[in-house]
Amino acid sequence: MPVVDRIMRYVRGPQGRKMRAKADRYARDPRTQAKVRGLLARLRGGGGRRKY
């Protein structure tokens, strides 16, 4: 699986570490957490139809 190896090399490199730190900061942001909670609530809420 050379694709997985390339991804792992990127993640372990300096750019990958920088991107991971950015993702961690983004995940800790309360606004982002609220967006995710809202999205999950809509997805779990069922398949109701929207009225336009």
For residue 2, pLDDT beyond 70: yes
Residue 52 has pLDDT above 80, yes or no: no
Q: How far apart are CA 14 and CA 40, in angstroms?
A: 33
Over residues 23-46, the pLDDT tens digits come to 999 999 999 999 999 999 999 986
What global pTM score does this model have? 0.57
SS3 51: coil
SS3 content of the chain, % helix, strand, coil (to 5): 80, 0, 20
